[in-house]
Chain A
Amino acid sequence: MSRRDALLQLVTLALVVAGIGWLIANVADNLDRQNIASGFGFLNERAGFGISQTLIDYDEDDSYRQVLIIGLLNTLLVSVLGIIFASVLGFLLGVGRLSRNWLISKIAMVYIEIFRNVPLLLQIMFWYFGVLRNLPSPRQAINIGDVMFLSNRGFALPSVSFMDGAGFYGLALLAIIVTAIGLRRRARKLFLATGQIVAFWKPLGIVSLAVLLLAGAVAGLPFAADIPSLRGFNFRGGMSVIPEFVALLLALSLYTAAFIAEIVRAGIMSVYQGQREAAAALGLSHNRALSLVVIPQSLRVIIPPLTSQYLNLTKNSSLAVAIAYPDIVSVFAGTTLTQVGQAIEIIFITMMVYLLLSLLTSWAMNRYNARIALVGQN
């Protein structure tokens, strides 16, 4: 590096530092003049507003810190469920798109083209304002078998409470899980040792039934269903799912599924036809060829863009603010910010939360991807 270059770089650096310093000083000055405090002390103050969906205990006397946690949990709830639904639906659609059945393939195509070409915000509004808000009022709610009620206030669903003896059913469930793991291990061991392909679902079904009957014989049916019923203008009892949540979850899942479907289709198509032929020529059945040869290879193409879709879904959940679903943006970067006014701290915290969520997701998916990467090829 010549002296002139070095000098130039020093000057540039000095200008950047000076610029940032000026910005900070300016912000501090302005905040001072408007009597807005800085720092994170506000997190301990009383929030004083209600939230329509809280996964943990909350009331208006709780602090803004609690609001942050509630918002984060609501974001996580809709994102995790959305990722699960979008993945399942997307996988089915992607495989369906490649189906030799004309009808299935065309249905998948029409679905994909509609859902991926309409803006997500519009889809959220469609489900919320167009569908769920237009359901009848609670008094005229759509009644599904006297236990579920759909109205413009949301879905009232029955909930189950456990009484004495429910623990036996917990034990039964544990026994079933242990049996399933044991059977899997045994099947694998037998397969490797003798080449036999052993039944799995049938013995598991028999054991499950026996264990559940046993639990029933010992403890009876220690469950009570809490069925919602109309009291005044709304439903009481049971479990209530707010329409904002349903609309957001539907829109996020259906929209992202269309993209995942294309990713899955591309992944499967990327596996060279010769791989299928080689598997078939060896006598492997269609399904075995798919599970042993095609899918493992398509995963390495599917995983990286799938990760992006998971990140997109999580970040897109912030559109919740449009229909007032109480996610982190809505209750923290929205209501809290309006009340406290400390934009820098609040936006910073919110951004860090999303960044952290995204980095965690990427990290997990990258680890998985590294495990299935091909050796000796790029």
Chain B
Amino acid sequence: MAQPIVQIRQLNKWYGNFHVLRDIDLDVAQGEKIVICGPSGSGKSTLIRCINRLEEHQEGTLMFDGEEIGDGTKSLEDVRKNIGMVFQQFNLFPHMTVLENCALAPMWVLQMPKAEAEAVARKFLERVRIPDQADKYPGQLSGGQQQRVAIARALCMNPKVMLFDEPTSALDPEMIKEVLDVMVELGDEGMTMVCVTHEMGFARQVADRVIFMDAGEIVEQNNPEAFFANPQNERTKLFLSQVL
């Protein structure tokens, strides 16, 4: 079996005295789609933010594509350019057009010529179905459109993994579907994805594995059919009864 793209062993993290992540073990295989769910404050966002080291962990090892991520990582930029991330609040750069948002990192990180970077940007804007908004500014778009731009911006770097941190939580209900549709397509195309989300329909449809976290631990994980039909742990049952 091929080496997992992300390999997490006995990961522990504290905020001061607060133990946010406890003994996390997690492997993500190439092409695997994982959904992480759990009550708020369970550490699920913190966990995926550790993968591209927006958060630092204190104990355990975290490997991405064969390289350890930690204090000793030589070039964090080289790791991060291979990990796409989509945030709850979109975090588009408001002073740049949609096209500039997408072309920025390919130009400055991958050192792509401008024309090529813009061609790549237009290709992915086409994929998320907003090619006609390329010259607008983020502030002129709806939330759903902004989040699709954010996905396109991450894809422009041709990442090996995509991390989604509650991508639909800040959206109005009628816009959630347009973002999920893009994510489903991305999954169908074989992208490796780790998604923190409460969209259980999406989990059922796309995920290879659903992970339930509570109080900083991975409580239960299973394929979606078994996870939803037959949860083992009491906490999982309680959570599912609240969100479904």
Q: Answer whether residue B136 sits at the interface, using C-beta atoms and an 8 A cutoff.
A: yes
Using known A-B contacts A374-B139, A376-B138, A377-B139, determine if residue A282 contacts B87 with beta carbons closer than 8 Å: no
Interface size for A (C-beta < 8 A) is 30
Interface membership of chain B positions 99-111, coded 1 if the CB is closer than 8 angstroms to chain A and 0 otherwise: 0000011011111
Are A281 and B80 interface neighbours, CB within 8 A? yes
Q: Which residues of B contact A194 (CB under 8 A)?
A: 111, 113
Are B81 and A282 interface neighbours, CB within 8 A? yes
Using known A-B contacts A195-B116, A274-B91, determine if residue A280 contacts B140 with beta carbons closer than 8 Å: no
Chain B interface category by residue count = 35 or more
Shortest CB-to-CB span from B105 to chain A, Å, is: 4
Q: Answer whether residue B190 sits at the interface, using C-beta atoms and an 8 A cutoff.
A: no
Q: Answer whether residue B130 sits at the interface, using C-beta atoms and an 8 A cutoff.
A: no
* Closest A residue, CB atoms, query B141: A376
Shortest CB-to-CB span from A354 to chain B, Å, is: 34
Are A275 and B80 interface neighbours, CB within 8 A? no
Q: Answer whether residue A118 sits at the interface, using C-beta atoms and an 8 A cutoff.
A: no
Q: Which residues of B contact A195 (CB under 8 A)?
A: 107, 110-114, 116-117
Are B139 and A192 interface neighbours, CB within 8 A? no
Q: Answer whether residue A20 sits at the interface, using C-beta atoms and an 8 A cutoff.
A: no
Q: CA separation between A191 and B106, bound complex, in Å?
A: 12
Q: Answer whether residue B95 sits at the interface, using C-beta atoms and an 8 A cutoff.
A: yes
Q: Which residues of B contact A135 (CB under 8 A)?
A: none
Q: CA separation between A192 and B81, bound complex, in Å?
A: 20
Are A282 and B94 interface neighbours, CB within 8 A? no
- Which B residues, 113 to 156, have Cβ-Cβ distances below 8 Å to chain A? 113-117, 136-141, 153-154
Q: Answer whether residue A197 sits at the interface, using C-beta atoms and an 8 A cutoff.
A: yes
- Which B residues, 80 to 103, have Cβ-Cβ distances below 8 Å to chain A? 80-85, 87, 89, 91-95
Identify which of A274, A282, A285 contacts B157 (C-beta below 8 A).
A282
Are B108 and A278 interface neighbours, CB within 8 A? no
Q: CA separation between A376 and B110, bound complex, in Å?
A: 29
By CB atoms of chain A within 10 A, which of B94, B109, B113 has the most?
B94
Are B77 and A375 interface neighbours, CB within 8 A? no
Majority SS at the chain A contact face: helix
* Closest A residue, CB atoms, query B156: A282
Interface membership of chain A positions 282-326, coded 1 if the CB is closer than 8 angstroms to chain B and 0 otherwise: 111100100011001100100000000000000000000000000
Q: Answer whether residue B54 sits at the interface, using C-beta atoms and an 8 A cutoff.
A: yes
Are B83 and A284 interface neighbours, CB within 8 A? no
Q: Which residues of B contact A376 (CB under 8 A)?
A: 94, 136-141
Interface membership of chain A positions 167-195, coded 1 if the CB is closer than 8 angstroms to chain B and 0 otherwise: 00000000000000000000000011111
Are B87 and A277 interface neighbours, CB within 8 A? yes
* Closest A residue, CB atoms, query B92: A278
- Which A residues, 53 to 103, have Cβ-Cβ distances below 8 Å to chain B? none
Q: Which residues of B contact A377 (CB under 8 A)?
A: 94, 137, 139
* Closest A residue, CB atoms, query B54: A277
Are B137 and A292 interface neighbours, CB within 8 A? no
Are A283 and B87 interface neighbours, CB within 8 A? no
Are A274 and B108 interface neighbours, CB within 8 A? no
Are A282 and B111 interface neighbours, CB within 8 A? no
Are A277 and B91 interface neighbours, CB within 8 A? yes
Q: CA separation between A282 and B150, bound complex, in Å?
A: 11
Q: Which residues of A contact B92 (CB under 8 A)?
A: 278
Are A193 and B114 interface neighbours, CB within 8 A? yes
Using known A-B contacts A281-B52, A281-B83, A375-B140, determine if residue A275 contacts B91 with beta carbons closer than 8 Å: yes
Q: CA separation between A375 and B141, bound complex, in Å?
A: 11
Using known A-B contacts A278-B87, A374-B139, determine if residue A297 contacts B111 with beta carbons closer than 8 Å: no
* Closest B residue, CB atoms, query A195: B111
Interface membership of chain A positions 18-37, coded 1 if the CB is closer than 8 angstroms to chain B and 0 otherwise: 00000000000000000000
Identify which of A197, A274, A285 contacts B77 (C-beta below 8 A).
A285
Using known A-B contacts A193-B114, A195-B110, A274-B89, determine if residue A283 contacts B77 with beta carbons closer than 8 Å: yes
Q: Answer whether residue A225 sits at the interface, using C-beta atoms and an 8 A cutoff.
A: no
Shortest CB-to-CB span from A64 to chain B, Å, is: 50
Are B80 and A283 interface neighbours, CB within 8 A? yes
Q: Which residues of A contact B27 (CB under 8 A)?
A: none
Q: Answer whether residue A196 sits at the interface, using C-beta atoms and an 8 A cutoff.
A: yes
The 22 listed contacts between A and B (C-beta, < 8 Å) are A191-B114, A192-B114, A193-B113, A195-B113, A197-B111, A274-B89, A274-B91, A279-B93, A280-B76, A281-B84, A281-B87, A283-B77, A283-B81, A284-B104, A284-B108, A293-B93, A296-B95, A300-B95, A374-B94, A374-B95, A376-B94, A377-B94
Given pairs A282-B80, A376-B136, 20 additional interface contacts (CB within 8 A): A192-B115, A193-B114, A193-B115, A195-B110, A195-B111, A274-B89, A274-B91, A277-B54, A277-B87, A279-B93, A280-B76, A281-B80, A281-B84, A283-B77, A283-B80, A283-B81, A284-B77, A284-B105, A297-B95, A374-B139
